[in-house]
Amino acid sequence: MTAVEVLAAAMLVAGGGFYLAGTVGLLRFPDALSRLHALTKADNVGLLLVCAGLGLLSGSLREAALLLLIWLLALLAATVSAHLIARRALADGVEVERRDGGTP
């Protein structure tokens, strides 16, 4: 395995790890907003790593550029949908706890 392949494999595994972390957050966090926080951050970084790893493996600049475009589009979609879900969750009256126990 060449150095590029090793690096790409490491990125793919790291991306998978980020996805796992996001899913654990989705399952374990108490309310909608914190779940959203875990999911969007972890999934987008995970996708970036996966796309970067695949781009490295592809060996062609065109494919790497297309993968970057895919990541940007996924980022846009995830951003807007997270925003809309958060707005809806707030409107529904989800409780957000502060560290000192009060509510904002």
Partner 1 sequence: MSLAVDLSIAAGLVVLAWRSLAGRDLFRGIVMYIVFGLLLAVTWARLGSPDLAMAEAAIGAGVTGALLMVAYWRLKRISPAEPEDRSPRRSRLAATVALLSTGMVAAIGLAAVQAIGPGGIAGRALFEALPATGLGNPITGVLVVFRNLDTVLEVAVLLAAYLAVRAVLGDRGESLAQPPPQEARLVGALVGVVAPLSVLVALYLLRAGSYLPGGAFQAGATLAACGVLLLLTGRLRAAADAGPWVRGALVVGTAVFGLFGVAMLAFGEPLLAIPGTWAVYLIETAMMVSIAVTLMLLFAGAAGLGGGRR
Binding site for partner 1 (CB under 8 A): 73, 76-77, 79-80, 83-84, 87
Nearer to partner 1, 65 or 97 (CB): 65
Instruction: Give the residue with the Cβ less far from partner 1, 63 or 97.
Output: 63
Q: Which is nearer to partner 1, 27 or 103 (CB)?
A: 27
Q: How far is CA 18 from the centre of its chain?
A: 7
Beta carbon of residue 78, minimum distance to partner 1 (angstroms, whole number) = 11
Smallest gap from residue 81 Cβ to partner 1 (A): 9
CB of residue 21 to partner 1, shortest distance in Å: 19
Reported for 18-22, long-range contacts at CB under 8 A and 24+ positions apart, including other chains, are: 18/42, 18/43, 18/45, 18/46, 18/49, 19/43, 19/46, 22/46
Q: Are 27 and 21 in contact (CB under 8 A)?
A: no
- The two tokens of residue 82 are 């997270």
Nearer to partner 1 by Cβ, of 60 and 103: the residue is 60
Could you tell me which of 79, 100, 90 has the C-alpha nearest to residue 31? 90
- Report, in Å, the least distance between residue 83 CB and partner 1: 5
